[in-house]
Amino acid sequence: MQVGDTFTHKHILAQDEFNRFARLSGDDNPIHVDPEFSARTRFGKTVAHGMFLYSLVCGALAKNFPNASQVSQGLMFPAPSFVGEEITISARVLDMSADTVRVETIITRPNGEIGLQGETMLKTK
């Protein structure tokens, strides 16, 4: 890897994933796990947990930076990501040193909106 390198992964958000994440995290807010409830909200369908999206980013980072450990992570969630959407998880190397890598992370929704935007620092040694 070098500065400027970008990698992407596609993922289709599934209700079963939202439900399993809710059981693991204890965050069973109906906006995430109850399609009937969510249909009556301004969103119209279930919304991904922000930390579930972050877990997808962590998985993508682990695939591309095996054996690295995360030192820090800053995140924003500008737009909701919905069940059934195929999202694109992107990461771009911003800076590197002998033992760290700084990476920009973005999840893009099918309509081009950003569902997650962040920056992470990885320790590589």
- Lookup: tokens for 24: 């693991």
For residue 113, the Cα-to-chain-centroid distance in whole angstroms is 13
Q: Does 6 have pLDDT greater than 90?
A: yes
**CA–CA gap between residue 26 and residue 21 (Å, rounded):** 8
Nearest to 88 by CA among 117, 62, 108, 63: 108
**pLDDT grade for 116, boundaries at 50, 70 and 90:** very high
pTM of the model: 0.92
- Lookup: tokens for 92: 């771009």
SS3 state at 46: coil
Q: Residue 9 has what pLDDT?
A: 95
- Lookup: tokens for 83: 């069940």
Multiple choice CATH, 6-14+48-123, 3.30.43.10, 3.30.2130.10, 3.10.129.10, 3.30.365.10:
3.10.129.10
∠ CA 55-29-82, nearest 5°, is 55
Q: Does 38 have pLDDT greater than 90?
A: yes
Mean predicted confidence (pLDDT) in 46-56: 96
Encode pLDDT of 54-74 as tens digits.
Answer: 999 999 999 999 999 999 999
Find out whether 118 and 74 touch, Cβ atoms under 8 Å: yes
Q: Does 1 have pLDDT greater than 90?
A: no
Encoded amino acid at 90, one letter: S
Q: Does 125 have pLDDT greater than 90?
A: no
Encoded amino acid at 16, one letter: D
Q: Return mean pLDDT, the chain.
A: 95
Residue tagged 């099918």 (tokens): 110
% of the chain exceeding 90 in pLDDT: 98
